[in-house]
Structure 1
């Protein structure tokens, strides 16, 4: 009886094992391997998550790209604005989405700055796959029209004659304009009082009224006011001149290597299959190199980039390290 009992247990175990293998085999048949996913992609709408409100520079570029990709890929491409928490809400939405190429992140250079200022919920270097850098735009050092200097050399001389007399606006501690001015102060040995605001709008308004003297602004935001004579351009913070601001010198012509370019780029969840990332990069760079799109970007103060995923990944890491060093050396803390 013991023998029969053992035989029964063995028979039952064998049947159970077979059932388990059939179940696993059936399950594997329903899993789409990355190669197959890449071949079928895209077959439904693609979402561009923008972690800022509609109407700004990040939103403008993302919408233009989405409309062009919609034609190129033959599927709907939608922009989903997820503002708040210094961009963290938008990053959350993408990191927590399936890594299938249907949810992308269109972010700006603050993505590599914020982790140095506050505890981050996500490690952007480890949890996002860089696709391409889309555009770059210089911050431009601007002053109220009454400020007694019109170029970098005279600006430095005026500020040095009266340490602490002048003040500059930024849209928050650790923002791009704040870091750009702190970098200039460090290089040129200047003492200028920082007045941070919660948002770009209030900071710009105080500068326009003359209650504050100067600021670094994005070229995108400053151009209308420069053209209207409400702001005076002093110098560009990036390495390259801007077609939108002819005759305005770069700070790098006087301070070698000075570069505070802001930039935008596209990311996907880290586990997105490499073939999908490559196809996204291919279609995005094709859209970016369109002559009409390039000219429109230039008119807004942007340079069109269109880098490869590998080059963009290297660039993102170098930017992360550069701004981390600036923040540590200048002792910058969040508001």
Structure 2
């Protein structure tokens, strides 16, 4: 009898100790969620993150704060999230650059095993931009000019090891040409210098580039993928110009490993609902971005495939990231 009372007492004590945690998870979120963007404000990743943050806050009936932590090609912001408490209150807005850094950089954490995937949000083809006054009007003209003067035509990127950096390295291989890389702390800074004539090219996503192309502030020489976009019908693909080039950027949301499964599921459901809403999906489609969504595992699979892809490119092109 005494033993039975002891067991009952221990069980009751365990339930009492667990009760605050259970209540905390039941009312998640009980305080503001921070969505870290590892690049400067104003870029494509920042734009996507803010759109998702607004929709997520509405569906969770809470607050989602976007925190830009730029530097080291996204590693500073990513490391901050991977080392945060896995309670669902510190999330990361990540992109293909995250996979590149996992493949060839030194992020300071295990990009696969330290990360809890939540959702793959969008997928964007890369687009190559020049200033309207630039002499090249096609990818072919640019390739010829770059072949005549290797390493002199400059391109701005969001940083060493970013999708814009390695995407341009791959384009150079396809064209049989080389370009001069000028790294920035974000795509918005690179775009500012393109508009100001300080760099000659910028390779970026259609989500970020769309408004600039439509307004005539920049001219697009080519688009990744097999077909043109309805959002930018006048922009030819690299493929139709004779260059097989299919580099895409993706945007996603993740957190640190160890998050409660119930929180991961709630965030995934809410973000899927955001992505399927007419307001958000129409906005992305208008910018040439494809909505992905689905289970967290979709992100894991894409990340692992990207890591292998970029490892092969760096080896083939003998790229060194300082």
Q: TM exceeds 0.5?
A: yes
From 98, 102, 111, the counterpart of 1:111 = 98
Question: What is the aligned partner in structure 2 of residue 250 from structure 1?
Answer: 237
Contact persistence 1:220–1:300 (CA under 8 A): yes
Larger Rg: 1
CA 1:330–1:75 in structure 2 vs 1: closer, same or farther (change >3 Å)?
Answer: same
Question: What is the aligned partner in structure 2 of residue 48 from structure 1?
Answer: 35
| Separation in structure 2 between the aligned mates of residue 311 and residue 33 of structure 1, nearest angstrom | 33
Gaps of 5+ in 1: 1-17
The 10-residue stretch of structure 1 (215-224 or 317-326) with the greater mean CA deviation from structure 2 = 215-224
Structure 1 residue 139 and structure 2 residue 126: aligned?
Answer: yes
Question: What is the aligned partner in structure 1 of residue 258 from structure 2?
Answer: 271
Structure 1 residue 95 and structure 2 residue 79: aligned?
Answer: no
Measured after TM superposition, the shift of residue 179 of structure 1 is 1.1
Question: What is the aligned partner in structure 1 of residue 289 from structure 2?
Answer: 302
| Separation in structure 2 between the aligned mates of residue 159 and residue 146 of structure 1, nearest angstrom | 17
Count, aligned residues: 317
So what's the TM-score if we normalise by structure 1? 0.80
| 1:101 aligned counterpart, secondary structure | coil
CA 1:177–1:50 in structure 2 vs 1: closer, same or farther (change >3 Å)?
Answer: closer
CA 1:81–1:32 in structure 2 vs 1: closer, same or farther (change >3 Å)?
Answer: farther
| Separation in structure 1 between the aligned mates of residue 258 and residue 227 of structure 2, nearest angstrom | 35
| 2:264 aligned counterpart, secondary structure | helix
Contact persistence 2:124–2:249 (CA under 8 A): yes
So what's the TM-score if we normalise by structure 2? 0.83
| Separation in structure 2 between the aligned mates of residue 24 and residue 209 of structure 1, nearest angstrom | 69
| 1:126 aligned counterpart, secondary structure | coil
| 2:88 aligned counterpart, secondary structure | coil
| 1:279 aligned counterpart, secondary structure | helix
Write the deviation string for residues 287-319 of structure 1: whole angstroms up to 9, x where unpaired: 111111112223344322213211221011111
Contact persistence 2:105–2:161 (CA under 8 A): no
Contact persistence 1:72–1:283 (CA under 8 A): yes
The 10-residue stretch of structure 1 (303-312 or 20-29) with the greater mean CA deviation from structure 2 = 20-29
CA 1:247–1:98 in structure 2 vs 1: closer, same or farther (change >3 Å)?
Answer: same
| 1:141 aligned counterpart, secondary structure | strand
Gaps of 5+ in 2: none
Question: What is the aligned partner in structure 2 of residue 61 from structure 1?
Answer: 48
